[in-house]
Structure 1
Amino acid sequence: MIDLQSSIAIATMVLMQLHHERNKKVADTLKEDVEFIKREFVMMQPVLMDVVEKRGQMAASRILSTWFRQLWGLAHDVEDCLMEFYLHLEKPSRAASAEQLLPRRIIAEQMRGLRDQIEQVNTRNDQYNNAISSVAPSQLNTGPTVAASRNVLLIGREKEKSDLIRLISQEGEQHQVMSVWGMVGIGKTTLVSSVYESQEIRGLFKQRGWVTVSHPFNLHDILASLARELDAQNFSVLGNYTQSNFEALGDRIKASSRSCLIVLDDVVCIEEWNLIQPHLPGDTNTHIIVITREASVAEHCSTTDKNIYKLEYLEDNEALELFKNKVFVGGSNIDLNADMTTQAKLIINKCDGHPLAITTIAGFLARKPKTAMEWKKLNDDLSVGSGSNPNLEAISRALSSSYDDLPYHLKMCLLYLCVFPKGHNIRQKRLVRRWVVEGYASNTHNMSAEQVGEGYFQEFISRSIIRPSKTVTHNVGSIDYCQVHTLIHDIIASKSEEGNHGFVLGLSSNNQDTIRHLSIISEGKLDKDLLHVRSVTVFGEWTSDLNLGMMRLLRVLDLEGTSGLKDHDIKEIDNLLLLKYLSLRGCIDIYHLPDGLGNLWDLQMLDVSGTSIIKLPKTITKLKKLLYLRAGNVSNDDDTSSSKRLQEEIGDVLLPQVSAETFQQLLASLKNEKKSDIYHKYKVLLRSFMLGRDIYGVETPNGISKLDVLHTLGVVNVASGKAILGEIEKLTKLHKLGLTGINMKNGQGVLCAIANLNLLRSLSLRAEGKPGLYGCLDHNISLPKNLHSLKLYGNLVVLPTWITQLQHLAKLKLRSTQLELAFSMEVLGKLPHLAILRLWKDTFQGEEIIFHFQQGLFPCLVVLELSDLDDLKSLSFMKGALPRLELLHVENCIHVDSNGFSGMSFLPSLKEVMLKGDYNNKFIDNLRAQLTQNQNQPILKGA
């Protein structure tokens, strides 16, 4: 990121290597230049941080903006030059030929030119410091400091209003602090104002007080304003109090609290609440509502979940109602013709249900002719960014605080989201690991870089800058996919271009000085200079114009899901000597990795899962920095199976004339796969069988144990012999491991190898065919005590005895295990921390599956998923059973009895029931009736 830290670190690395340079004259000259650059960057660092922190708050300054762009580009140019030279100093050299590297003479000339540029920047330091320090407090963006009007017209929030009124007025509630939180401009203040002025609330409280927290924060002014609100008639006596006499103000507020409602609007951090809270009344008849944009503030102020209310975006119908009301000034009941409706929905879609954006745009259209043509013209403006229309700049100004208020270290992480198109579902692990390899998230003394990056991701969620988009049940409590709000995407794209960060989407022309991050989302001729590109991401079709051999400085090559990519397209990958991240995930026409992969010594993340690769090259053992290695054709856990027959799935594709039992068993396993994947899996299965290999895993070469920093490894086929188990046993830093090809011969060896991996937290074991896992895991061996997640696929019959020792196990998935139902559920029900239980097809034996959950078992279960259990007949819950269950997910269990579910009203924590598949109406009606009797009022989805 532009904290110059990366450039400083690389300069230090080059200086260390220069000590070993044989040509002393060259070394001395370059050493002097590099030392100068490093020294200047160290001095510029604090100036730059001040600029980044304040540029969203200070008055527009063309000089400052120009300097910022120049410095950003200069830092990257220096880093590029240093890395080019570092490759020359590398011993032994990875370069296949001298032509693969930029000549030293050219690098030396570039270095001297960069030094001259830095000297020019240095001479202006005083000027920039003065520009920053001259920003007056009046120029700061202090955010909303004036309370909204208390008489507001609420459109599209009637349900939310009723919910809040019910929460405030419910009988038996004593002193409480409620929090209402959500994104900037989502309508928090408007909603609470409507509740505050409602007749129901007015009648409940003798005194009410509303204060908007000022920024810069001033505790005296806040308390004085609140005292005035609560006791307007007697407030004159407070005029004698000094500004520092907070106790007197607090005492006055507490003394006047008689059945009191207090609203604190725009609390932006926990520290502000901690300063205000001691001066607030704590009587049993006091209710306090905190309005904030921060989830962490809401959770801190309101200690119980039921008092935390997140305000979400408007649904389509409510958004259209608000739009019409503002365009036609109170005429939400007006019927639009077909063309106007189409344009209105397009506008609303671009606004993502954001009330501020809808209101602003509608207000602009209210002053225009109310025609479909006029609305289409505005839609066209929105398609190229709201900033193209001066009347819409208010949206950007209001929402820009989401970026400007971020801490310094998060700004670049947010800008990096520009690599993904609008509306794209971004996988969390994909994003976080890219942050890591780009240097935006680094190790700390007690957290890995990935854990730091996950914290950044959660902070963006907490600030409502990104929103969950596709959460899967196996990871309850965390978010697997997110989307960037359309308007936020426009803002960060604008910030990126303004700061010359080099993010480019598509192949169209752009104003970026140099491309640093290229995302290809459309077909077209690629005629850009790609010499300085740091990352390439392709969405959709592969383009043959992309010459990988030209991108010597590439760090990230992300081709996940790219169609049309062939083996020959990645043959020059060995030229990418600085590559740290390579993903070919889901590229089904990739069959081999080139041997040149071994030249990528800096590679940290390699994902070839979902490809047709069944054997990894020997040279992979040279990748000593590799942290993540994902391979194999195991379906993603967020994909659920189908109960249709294989012949129905693949249509006219002819089955091969192979009679071997093993092949038929493997073939039968495909009937549970997604239709979109079936033909690819079929081809890979056939090829794997002919070569005597397992479809679901890959064969690894000897020497895999040399990758001794591996964090994640899978899915590896261990059927080839004992040698691979000995290699895996040495990978003691593994946290996640997936193995297939387990059998009677290697079962004990598998468990012994796993037992040595003390850091292991996630384990997947798989065996196909009729034998499956039967008898393979029946060995008295203790697995790692901190194992958190376990997946067992294959005929098991009896649970292994060691499963009872997994006292920290939180997630368990079973499939095709053919267990005895009653005994197995009793064993699993005693696991003290099991939170997620996923039971898939053929988990249990028998013609009828009847679940009967009793009190005392599964004390911590939060998610129960039942998928493709063809013989499921009934599911019952006794009173006191599953006290923490929040989600019941039932998929393709279509033979359940009409009255098969019972006791749903007894589940005290149930929030949601998800049904997928075809169920009869009587069953659904019975289920709805039970849920209405549940005190938690859980929702039913999918029915």
Structure 2
Amino acid sequence: MVSASHPFDIMNFCQNLVDDLELPEGEDIFQRIWRHLEEKQCLVVIDNLRSKEDWDMIEGRLILRASRTCIIVITREETVARYCATSDDAVCRVKGLEADAARNLFQKQTKNHGGNTQWDSVMMDEAELIIKKCGRLPKLSVALVKYLAEVRNGIREARRLNTNFMYALKTTKGLESFRDVFTWIYSNYQACPHLLKKCVFYLSLFTQSSMIRQSRLVRRWIAEGYSEGTDSNSIVEYTQNLLHELANLGITEHPQQTPTGAGNRSSCQINSFFLEYVISREMEENIFLALEVSILQGEGSVNTQRVGQHLTIGSSWKRDKFVFENMDFSRLRSLTVSREWRPFLISDRMRVLRVLDLEDTNVADGDIEQVVKLLPRLKFLGLRRCTKVSSLPESMGELRHLQTLDIRHTSVAKLPKSITRLQKLQYIRAATRVALMEENPSTPWRRSQGTVDACDGIMVPTGIGGLTALHTLGVLDISARGGKAILNELKNLTQLKKLGVSGIKRSNIKGLFATIVGHRHLESLSLQLHKDKDLDWLGKITPPRNLRRLKMYVHVVKYPHWSCLQVLGQIKRLHTLGLRFETDQDVELQFCDNLDRNPLIAFGQFSEVKVLEIACSSNLHVKFAGPEMSDLEMLKVHCLHGSSLQLSGIDNQRNLKHVWMKGSFDDTVKEELRRKVGQHPEKPFCRLD
């Protein structure tokens, strides 16, 4: 590895390269290097390259002819990386370590640098905090372990680092090498437009969460006014671009090994190291902060009684009613609560509150009535996974400014009639996404009714077609009484971009596709099929022409033969296929060209499927071969109730990236599964639960 100095000196660079390659003395230094690189098969790593001009000097002097040598360039600038690369595919963004990998690295380096067992066990309590603050950067983790191993009292020093991490990094002798990184981070931040700086500070509201759904951020930012556009779809695209720019800065990144969906970047992870440094720098220089953020944690309280624009109540805050009621909320625009909800956490003094995010809290029906009464200006109401919420009040119609309603994974089974008065509503996420991978796929409400159904949807009132600003709607159940009338109303929702529908069966499938055929903005359609004796009718459906992604979830209770499901392979633009089998019969799925196939079925079926999810209560055998499922990227299998699993031909799926197996497997089965996945040429990530 050769490091590019700054300012760049081509002669110094070449001399370091000669020393690394151990080239003999002789002719001109440039001639010696390019001749060696041309004749030998070498791997050259150039670290810390800063500009295109520096690369031009290297390329012009040393890479004059076709060469067998592989050159890897490490740079912090994406534009430089793309300039040096031979193609876009050759550019790789290096991400921080996953949490477990970062922890293992810290422990390994602790032992390498002389930490004893007692020091290790106590240190790891402090290390958990240090690892998060490091942003999972390997270089920084290794440097800190080495530093802590050399000081007299490593544990006390670790606590000092955690108390004021950024200040300690910038002033501690022995960690000077990271000051160059700080300069790069801050210069990139300073070059950002004002709106993007506000988005950076906004992320500090979520530092307690390791993962954040992108849709959650997008919907909140739209409610905050961080967007531009002529309609709801263009506004979403603008806000999504803000997230992309944050990723380019290194503030956020996508998880490396998250088995949720192929090509799916639904969640992002905050690099706390980058974020904390930017915030600390602004505060040190007494610069006007782009955003006022207050966070209540532990025994703490806000330094001044005047709360800023945004307040997060952490799960550790003691919920002191006296302290809270003496705060000034006159400028509060967003309130985020973690875990424990108390009725006094909302007040009629929150007159300009736009965002109320109560995700994963114990809020209940009566609390929602108070929310509507006290906070009529809300634009965002997030109740996801609030399982104690079983109904929404009729007074919901008073929230005339509401744009986003997220009640997914709650116990709400029906939207109130008054919802049709909310003309600004753009986004409704409700019901429970089909939980094919769970033992009992149903919402708490459905379990309380004594039914277990993989197709959970919510009933919507007539008049829903009047909400013409809607671009995301789901999951709505069209199998109940009035389903045909609801389908007719969907014709008016021409701005729909994402739609989820449950209760699909032979009698209503044609009506659904006839309704949405003219929806030119519709990109994603999710269908949960009603239990049926056969599925041959699916072969006749034609998805809308503009549709990019079709997801189908099928609940099978009678399984005579694989041929009854082969018809699914003919459906165009089928991206995700979920199959749940609740039968006493053994199930064999043959994603392969076999001799007994139906002669009317074409070859190369399921060619567009990228995600395959299977849950089975009986013995399951999945076979892959030939061109079928050729684009599969993610395989998720759950063997229910102790059933067994066999996989054949998994090495034929050349694009496979993730394999997730869940069930009560014995060690022999687990080892066999690991062996088969390990033999795959692309070495996909494998998770066994």
Shorter-normalised TM range: 0.7 to 0.9
Q: Tell me, yes or no, if the aligned pair for 1:468 and 1:482 is still in contact at 8 Å.
A: yes
Offset at 1:289? Answer: 1.3
Residue 784 (structure 1) aligned with residue 554 (structure 2): no
CA distance in 2, matches of 1:347, 1:360: 16
Residue 515 (structure 1) aligns with:
308
1:769-780, aligned counterparts within 5 Å? none
Aligned to 1:672: 441
Which of 553, 558, 576 does residue 813 from structure 1 map onto?
Answer: 553
Matched, 1:732 2:514: no
Q: Output the TM-score relative to the length of structure 1.
A: 0.60
8 A Cα contact 1:213 1:265, kept in partner: no
Matches within 5 A, 1:94-493: 193=1, 211-212=4-5, 214=7, 226=13, 258=38, 259=40, 262-267=44-49, 280-293=63-76, 301=85, 303=87, 308=92, 310=94, 312-313=96-97, 314-325=101-112, 330-331=113-114, 334-337=116-119, 340-343=122-125, 345-346=127-128, 348-350=130-132, 351=134, 353-362=136-145, 364-366=147-149, 368-370=151-153, 372=155, 374-375=156-157, 378-379=158-159, 382-383=162-163, 385-387=165-167, 391=171, 398-399=181-182, 401-402=184-185, 404-406=187-189, 407-408=192-193, 409-443=195-229, 448-461=234-247, 463-469=249-255, 473-493=259-279
C-alpha displacement of 1:731? 0.9
CA positional deviation for 1:520: 0.9
Contact 2:95–2:253 (CA under 8 A) maintained in structure 1: no
Structure 2 length-normalised TM: 0.79
1:529 aligns to 2:328 (yes or no): yes
**Aligned equivalent of 1:705, options 465, 469, 483:** 465
Residue in 2 that maps onto 1:840: 580
Work out the CA distance in 2 between the residues paired with 1:789 and 1:932. 30
Deviations 1:53-76 (A, max 9, x none): xxxxxxxxxxxxxxxxxxxxxxxx
Equivalent residue, structure 2, for 1:804: none
CA–CA distance in structure 2, aligned partners of residues 729 and 715 of structure 1: 17
Structure with the largest fraction of helix: 1
Q: Out of 638, 648, 653, which is 1:891 matched to? A: 638
Deviation of the 1:628 alpha carbon: 0.5
The residue number in structure 2 matching 1:715 is 475
1:817 and 1:603, CA in 2 relative to 1: closer, same or farther beyond 3 A?
farther
Q: Look up the equivalent residue of 2:47 and give its one-letter code.
A: D
> Do the aligned residues in 2 keep the contact of 1:299 with 1:308 (CA within 8 Å)?
no
Query: What code does the residue aligned with 1:287 have?
Result: C
Contact 2:262/2:611 (8 A) holds in 1? no
Q: What is the alpha-carbon distance in structure 2 between the residues aligned to residue 430 and residue 782 of structure 1? A: 32
1:640 and 2:437 correspond = yes
**Aligned-partner Cα distance in 2 for 1:567–1:608:** 15
- Matches of 1:600 and 1:275, distance apart in 2: 62
Q: Of the two, which has the highest radius of gyration?
A: 1
1:551 deviates by 1.5
CA–CA separation in structure 2 for the residues paired with 1:451 and 1:596: 32
> Are the aligned partners of 1:588 and 1:610 in contact in 2 as well (CA < 8 Å)?
yes
CA distance 1:427–1:225, shift in 2 (3 Å) = same
Residue type matched to 2:486 in 1? Answer: I
CA distance in 2, matches of 1:833, 1:743: 19
Instruction: Give the Å deviation of 1:424.
Output: 3.6
Deviates more, 1:740-749 or 1:597-606: 740-749
Q: How many residues align?
A: 648
Whether 1:503 and 2:283 are equivalent positions in the alignment is no
Match of 2:666 among 920, 926, 943: 920
Look up the SS of the partner of 2:481 in the other structure. coil
Does structure 2 conserve the Cα–Cα contact (< 8 Å) formed by 1:852 and 1:875? yes
Q: Give the aligned residue type for 2:419.
A: I
2:598 matched residue in structure 1: none
CA spacing shift, 1:884–1:268, aligned 2, 3 Å: farther
Distance in 1 (alpha carbons) for counterparts of 2:59 and 2:404: 47
* Correspondence 1:598 to 2:344: no
The unaligned stretches of length 5 or more in structure 1 are 1-192, 197-209, 215-220, 239-248, 643-670, 792-811
In structure 2, the partner of 1:179 is none
Distance 1:926 1:615, change over 3 A: closer
Deviation at 1:849, TM superposition (A): 1.8
Residue pair 1:432, 1:454 contacting (<8 A) in 2 also: yes
1:321-372: CA deviation from partner (whole Å, max 9, x where unpaired): 32454xxxx536x544565444564455444543344345445545642364
1:502-540 deviations in Å (ceiling 9; x for gaps) = 111116334577510011112322132111001111111
Conservation of the 8 A alpha-carbon contact between 1:211 and 1:264? yes
Give yes or no for contact 2:498–2:525 (8 Å, CA) kept in 1.
Answer: yes
> Residue 549 of structure 1 corresponds to which residue in structure 2?
348
SS of 1:672's partner is coil
Using the alignment, how far apart are the partners of 1:925 and 1:619 within structure 2?
Answer: 56
Output the CA distance in 2 between the equivalents of 1:488 and 1:531: 31
Does the C-alpha gap of structure 1 residues 458 and 565 become closer, same or farther in structure 2, counting only changes over 3 Å? same
CA distance in 2, matches of 1:939, 1:911: 6
Identity of aligned residues (%): 27
332, 339, 351: which one pairs with 1:540?
A: 339
1:573-588 alignment runs, 5 A limit: 573=372, 576-588=375-387
Displacement of 1:306: 7.8
Q: 1:591 to 1:877 in 2, by over 3 A?
A: closer
- The AA in structure 1 aligned to 2:462 is N
Contact preservation (8 Å) 2:550, 2:576: no
- What SS does the aligned partner of 2:152 have? coil
Aligned to 1:868, which of 598, 611, 615? 615
The equivalent position to 1:762 in structure 2, one of 524, 529, 536, is: 524
Aligned to 2:330, what secondary structure does the other structure show?
coil
SS in 2 for 1:448: helix
Q: Secondary structure at the match of 1:710?
A: coil
Across the aligned residues of Structure 1 and Structure 2, the Cα RMSD in angstroms comes to: 4.4
